[in-house]
Homo-oligomer: A and B are copies of this chain.
């Protein structure tokens, strides 16, 4: 039920609740589906019921870098960038796993936000939380070496998946971190030579988590 997943449901007036429910749609998408992309697009707010989404930006040459990920109960605001005129950047949202989600049309959300301090403040918290993730990423990109960032990414993946056996191509890791596949391959081979990971086709297995954590720090 949408009501249970939308954290400020109880703060809405009955007519606002009705408008939201009426406008809402539910979707299930396969891993790999691009849910939102480019600036022309204003898909709406995405509320994840179950699954995993990835938000990334693209360079002119097609390089990618992941700016945040969304899990169960997370809301994606930047797929509805038209609701705030000051948003002047484009993100692409892709399903990283099979995902079930609700889509809230941007115009309906915008109208309710304009009249409800509660919805506007909730939106503020959403944005502040993504902002914090992007600032974290900025610090990583600016001050950390790539080996530290690869270590942090492998540890994050292991935490998400609950296993040290990670189904990840070198290309996928490069696309998360905004670098080239060749650079990741070189780094992973170095990690392997240090006994930190074992590489096999489409798979990275963590052998020494402690070393990886020391590297990340």
CB proximity of A89 to chain B, nearest CB, Å: 4
Please give me the residue from chain B that is nearest to A127 by CB atom: B127
Copies, count: 2
A86 and B129: CB pair below 8 A? yes
A124 and B125: CB pair below 8 A? no
A59 and B143: CB pair below 8 A? yes
CB proximity of A140 to chain B, nearest CB, Å: 11
CB proximity of A153 to chain B, nearest CB, Å: 15
Near B by CB (< 8 A), chain A positions 139-184 give: 139, 141-143, 178
CB proximity of A201 to chain B, nearest CB, Å: 29
Q: Is A87 an interface residue, CB under 8 A from the partner?
A: yes
Known contacts: A137-B138, A138-B134, A142-B59. The answer to whether A128 contacts B127 by CB under 8 A is yes
Q: Is A57 an interface residue, CB under 8 A from the partner?
A: yes
Near B by CB (< 8 A), chain A positions 21-55 give: none
**Residue from B63, B113, B137 within 8 A of A143 (CB atoms):** B63
Please give me the residue from chain B that is nearest to A134 by CB atom: B134
Q: Is A13 an interface residue, CB under 8 A from the partner?
A: no
Q: Please, which residues of chain B bring their CB within 8 A of the CB of A87? A: 128, 131-132
CA distance A123 to B125 in the complex (A): 11
CA distance A115 to B124 in the complex (A): 14
Per-residue CB proximity of A99-121 to B under 8 Å, as 1/0?
Answer: 00000000000000111110111
CB proximity of A98 to chain B, nearest CB, Å: 28
Q: Is A85 an interface residue, CB under 8 A from the partner?
A: yes
Q: Please, which residues of chain B bring their CB within 8 A of the CB of A178? A: 142
Q: Is A215 an interface residue, CB under 8 A from the partner?
A: no
B86 and A128: CB pair below 8 A? yes
A135 and B85: CB pair below 8 A? no
Q: Is A3 an interface residue, CB under 8 A from the partner?
A: no
| 20 A-B residue pairings within 8 Å (CB atoms) | A57-B139, A59-B139, A60-B143, A65-B138, A84-B124, A85-B125, A89-B132, A113-B117, A116-B117, A117-B119, A117-B120, A120-B120, A127-B127, A130-B131, A131-B134, A134-B134, A134-B138, A138-B138, A138-B141, A141-B142
